[in-house]
A and B are shown apart, each in its own frame.
Chain A
């Protein structure tokens, strides 16, 4: 009897007796569902946690500041920088040329005076906040190449990013909303409002009040969370460069809220080839002479914890599958005791031991495959249900919803794993069936 004929026979044996196999199939299905749901949740958790750590940018991002490295701080995730040191195109070229560096995005910051609109929200916003809006405040504008936002630790919360070439569009952070005593959970309220800002410059000749600003009107097009550099306004790099160049022409050192910048770039965001190269790249940048920071130790330890959680969850699922396999084995053994005569008849009409073995191995595998398929599907649905409950909670908390990480690998693994385990569980009963004497066919004692 060929495998194909044995499959056809076993298929009928299982599907036309599904009532009997039902409980066995169910136990496999439950185990597979548990495994799938646990693994999917674990993997989604991992992806989300790492996404949080990466702050919307690549996980292998490294921040470089225009300062010399402090030798005592080099291995720290958040290294305190040493004395300021100019960071220009030479340094960018040197860092971009390092073997394990994928990309380098410069950041330019500029201290500015901001005049917020009053009220600071769109006219169509339902509830007008009664907050007192300051007439002006000093804040840092962070300028980056908006075309490279995917390489930066920038997460869009509302609206859109400013277009790369624009001199009139900016985005603000939730820090801006908090400064104006607005609800950070309703970032849409500030979209489309006008923000007037000025780059300061000190004119020594003006004596008592030496500060003059170059004014410019911008529109807030988006609200972001960003960690490219400290600052509540994110703008295309040209805006920050223009402001900084104006401030740089000051002919005396200002007091208080700002200082005259000398470095062409205030920092860089460097992306390494992978998590493993972060350490090496940081060492090389330190050697070039700049202070770096990256959450590498944090990521490494978080990943260790995540791995432990995954192992624990997968073990629970695997134990369930093993229990289900034992269930298959015992159900099959019972079935064989019940089907002695049928097995005898098969042999009486000419089936060889190995034909009987095949039929029962395939029956076991089919139970595993059906249970695995049903269970994996159910597990995916359970994970989805859990995901939507979690998302409901996250959205209620004003956080971004998570994407469920329903990996095809987990699904394939669930089905194949159940089938293989069931096959293994079927070997003992199938052998026993194959060895039953043919005279059982007679149905005597």
Chain B
């Protein structure tokens, strides 16, 4: 398979310590990605020989039936799990070569996650949730509070800084989550059905915010959604079926 060969070639030339280019999104290059789950002794193949490219700073939407493997693709792109086979290259990171703390460092510095559930820590306030991302990246205590406040006001929630997630609406929670995802200026933002639990107006506001921040930070944005009108707004629109991505 030519794809595999190209991938191996790239492996040899990429050094782990290569710094990612600042101030711009990360390119995504996926070749021959295969991933399966084992349950009850049977192997369930979710992604099969999938190829996928996103330009640095690109905006891609992915749609697909429930259970098609969209979330699985995001966990692999975001380094939450190593791919079983195939090559996943994000910027200068070859995710097959990373594990443990290196993978954690990749997620910390290069990836911003927005989940369908907001993924906010229930015991922290909105501000503290955003601060947590800075804490993890080792930002000094003085600066992290200031930066978190700036981010919260950028998503229009400076008024709700001291509220805990349970006191916020679904849309507000997602906006806090977006602020947190963008805290460390990631080169790649991965959003897994961020509007799945929201009413139309909130959904629109959340997507508009994501698009605005994508435009200003020039990060690469991969957005998974069930909503065709939202999917239609991306530069690149893909459909995940049968373990492969095809143009939508």
A sample of 13 cross-chain residue pairs with beta-carbon separation below 8 angstroms, ordered by A number, consists of A13-B123, A342-B121, A345-B113, A346-B121, A347-B107, A348-B107, A349-B132, A350-B107, A351-B136, A437-B80, A441-B119, A442-B80, A443-B119
Which one of B97-105, B148-156, B202-210, B234-242 is at the A interface? B97-105
CB pair A349 B115 closer than 8 Å: no
Q: Which of B166-181 contact A (CB under 8 A)?
A: 180-181
Q: How far is the CB of B203 from chain A (nearest CB, A)?
A: 19
Q: How far is the CB of A435 from chain B (nearest CB, A)?
A: 11
Q: Which of A391-415 contact B (CB under 8 A)?
A: none
CB pair A9 B117 closer than 8 Å: no
Q: How far is the CB of A295 from chain B (nearest CB, A)?
A: 61
Partner of B80, one of A13, A347, A355: A347
User: Which residues does chain A contribute within 8 Å of B115, judged by CB atoms?
Assistant: 345, 441-443
CB pair A441 B108 closer than 8 Å: no
Which one of B6-14, B56-64, B70-78, B87-95 is at the A interface? B70-78
Q: Which of A306-355 contact B (CB under 8 A)?
A: 341-342, 344-353, 355
CB pair A12 B124 closer than 8 Å: yes
Q: Which of B129-163 contact A (CB under 8 A)?
A: 132-133, 135-137
Partner of A1, one of B71, B135, B164, B180: B135
Taking A16-B123, A351-B104 as known contacts, 16 extra A-B pairs with beta carbons closer than 8 A to each other, sorted by chain A number, are A9-B132, A13-B121, A13-B123, A17-B122, A342-B122, A345-B121, A347-B80, A348-B113, A349-B113, A352-B101, A353-B101, A355-B136, A439-B81, A441-B113, A442-B192, A443-B119
Interface of B toward A, CB cutoff 8 Å = 71, 74-75, 78-81, 100-101, 103-105, 107-109, 113, 115-117, 119, 121-124, 128, 132-133, 135-137, 164, 180-181, 184, 192
User: Which residues does chain A contribute within 8 Å of B79, judged by CB atoms?
Assistant: 438
Is A5 engaged at the interface, CB distance under 8 Å to the other chain?
yes
Is A444 engaged at the interface, CB distance under 8 Å to the other chain?
yes
Size class of the contact patch on chain A: 20 to 34
CB pair B108 A350 closer than 8 Å: yes
Docked pose: A349 CA to B135 CA in angstroms? 11
User: Which residues does chain A contribute within 8 Å of B108, judged by CB atoms?
Assistant: 349-350
* Contact (A341, B107) CB under 8 Å given A13-B123, A442-B75: no
**Chain A window 425-441, contacts with chain B (Cβ cutoff 8 Å), 1 for yes, 0 for no:** 00000000000011101
* Contact (A442, B104) CB under 8 Å given A5-B135, A12-B124, A350-B133: no
CB pair B116 A347 closer than 8 Å: no
CB pair A352 B81 closer than 8 Å: no
User: Which residues does chain B contribute within 8 Å of A9, judged by CB atoms?
Assistant: 124, 132, 135
Docked pose: A17 CA to B71 CA in angstroms? 30
Partner of A442, one of B71, B121, B122: B71
CB pair A12 B135 closer than 8 Å: no
* Contact (A12, B123) CB under 8 Å given A348-B107, A350-B108, A442-B115: yes
User: Which residues does chain B contribute within 8 Å of A347, judged by CB atoms?
Assistant: 80, 104, 107
CB pair B119 A348 closer than 8 Å: yes
User: Which residues does chain B contribute within 8 Å of A13, judged by CB atoms?
Assistant: 121, 123
User: Which residues does chain A contribute within 8 Å of B124, judged by CB atoms?
Assistant: 9, 12
Q: How far is the CB of A312 from chain B (nearest CB, A)?
A: 42
Q: Would you list the 5 A-B pairs with minimal beta carbon distance, nearest first?
A: A350-B108, A438-B80, A345-B119, A16-B123, A439-B80
Using CB atoms, name the residue of chain B closest to A342.
B121
CB pair A352 B123 closer than 8 Å: no
Q: Which of A91-129 contact B (CB under 8 A)?
A: none
